[in-house]
Amino acid sequence: MSNAAHKTRVDLVQMFEPVRADLEAVEREYERQVQSKVDVIPQIGSYIQQSGGKRVRPAVLLMAARLCGYTGPRAILNAAVLEFIHTATLVHDDIIDDAEVRRGRDAVHSRWGNDVTVLAGDFLYIKSMAMALTQDTLDIVRLLCDVTLRMIEGEIYQLTKNGVVDLSEEEHFDIIGRKTAYLFSSCAQIGGMLGEVGPEKENALREYGFNLGITFQLVDDLLDFTGEADALGKPIGGDLREGKITLPIIHLLKQAGAEAEALVRRIVRERTIAPDEWLRIKVLLAEHRSIDYAYHRAVEFGESAKRHLRLFPPSPEREALTALADYVLSRDR
């Protein structure tokens, strides 16, 4: 591991320190709830759980709850529910994208096949709602159903736009809002709901989470052009090969001439990219400052996320949530 990567991991551990014990409890709850008499289900659940995810989403919920004065068992339960929902989307996304690798390991469907994997994803979705329904209030269940539907709509919408080179910036933000940001927003909002802080602070947390989620996805898209394959645990240039047009390419196509458009259209049409084409794409992105533009937009959303936390008094939890936005902007994987 490089010094920079090690520092990033240490920083994340430090940020999550206020909720470290709770995160461990979420892991235990996830493991308990994924059990089934059908052996392959806990096998898949355990395989995904051990794949090295950063647990950012449950940490946001736990820290938001603590920020709002709540430290009870419902925070653990809801964080586990959201981890189930997130895991289900990863399982299904890998099939849709035909991704062979996730986080440096075989994708679930590569190991167990599409049929079992689709049904395992369905199990995780339904199980998440069954867990949520053990609560006293339906407000959180309604929110979880709403965000799950938005995520699925986002995936379907993205599929309808797959291979569409002329994707607008507005359409792209709509997709990443649905696919990524609404889940982050619900993590933060549920923390406020558990703390019963009222509509104003609940809305501030929802906006914090939404903006953090957009930042997270914009940086994720950037890493497809700037990251190292070993660090990312997936092939570089995968988005473009899969026909996904992200913000750096949207900006490039606006700024550059016929060469860039012809090159992008060929890659998207044929779903292949030669090493010299990839180098040319990176040169064009640098010449037209498209990477800088996308990163600048990510910074804008990150700063917006932090502004929404100012409604809360200073605390270790507010500091951690603020630092998380900076971490997301600096991550290299």
CA dihedral 189, 194, 196, 202 (to 10 degrees): 0
Domains and CATH numbers, the chain: 3-330 (1.10.600.10)
Query: What is the rounded CA–CA span in Å between residue 213 and residue 178?
Result: 10
- pLDDT at residue 16 in the model: 85
- ∠139-17-190 over CA atoms, to 5°? 5
Phi, psi of 244 (to 5 degrees): -90, 120
Phi/psi at 87 (nearest 5 deg)? -65, -40
Dist. CA 126–CA 140, nearest whole Å: 15
Q: Are 248 and 225 in contact (CB under 8 A)?
A: yes
Question: With contact defined as beta carbons under 8 Å apart, do 301 and 215 qualify?
Answer: yes
Q: What CA–CA distance (Å, rounded) separates 332 from 105?
A: 18
> Helix axis angle, 73-97 relative to 114-132, nearest 10°?
160
Quote the pLDDT of residue 48: 83
pLDDT in tens for each of the 333 residues of the chain?
344 444 444 477 788 888 889 999 999 999 999 999 999 998 988 888 777 667 899 999 999 999 999 999 999 999 999 999 998 988 888 888 777 777 678 888 888 988 999 999 999 999 999 999 998 789 999 999 999 999 999 999 999 999 999 999 999 999 999 999 999 999 999 999 999 999 999 999 999 999 999 999 999 999 999 877 555 455 667 889 889 999 999 999 999 889 999 999 999 999 888 889 999 999 999 999 999 999 999 999 999 999 999 999 999 999 999 999 999 998 876
Whole-number CA gyration radius for the chain: 20
pLDDT at 9: 46
Q: What is the pLDDT of residue 76?
A: 96
Residues 6+ apart with CB under 8 A from 261: 165, 253
Report pLDDT for 128: 94
